[in-house]
Amino acid sequence: MHVLLSAEQVCEGVQRLAREIDLYYGGRSLTIVGVLHGSIVLLADLIRHLNMPLRVGLLQARSYRGGATRPGELTVNRDLIPDVRGRDVLLIDDIYDTGRTLATLVEQLHALGANSVRSAVLLRKTGRREVELLPDHVAFEIPDVFVVGYGLDYCERYRNLPYVAALDTADVEGPVT
């Protein structure tokens, strides 16, 4: 694997993202919903930089299973989301790839009665978009490579890396121990 974004770059990107979100919401109360499991690291770091009253909830959305490097069918578990009726919601995800997950989740949060739903992602891949909806806040644009680290995984490995790295073809196709 090779490093795309160093730990320092990621930290600076998260701080930049927080400033942008603070500016947009201007101190208004916010409900933040993180998408498990990939956004956990981003969510934890991001909320420490936000200067507003906030509530935090989680949901689970999975479209990658096992050693898959391309998304499959999306499954969503909303059991950990607080009541969002009449609230401004910021959906936090690790990566915007095709956009199908983000579009589905934004639609579901609106259906639950959210006053507004915006989104923030650490990474946006170029050239893979399949939907019209784009994330509102993006820390980094990256090429169409399979990435791990800073919450992103391959076969449940590498989430703990403090940087973002692209897996080489041999890493993806090789055995996972």
Active site residues: 97
Between the two ends of the chain, the Cα-to-Cα distance in Å is 16
DSSP character at residue 82: P
Q: Which two tokens stand for residue 142?
A: 């990256």
How far apart, in whole angstroms, are the C-alpha atoms of residue 8 and residue 65?
30
> Six-digit token pair at 108?
């579901």
C-alpha span between 148 and 157 (Å, rounded):
8
**Host H or E run for residue 122:** strand 116-125
Query: Is 169 strand, coil or helix?
Result: helix
- Residue of 122, 119, 42 lying closest to 88 (CA atoms): 119
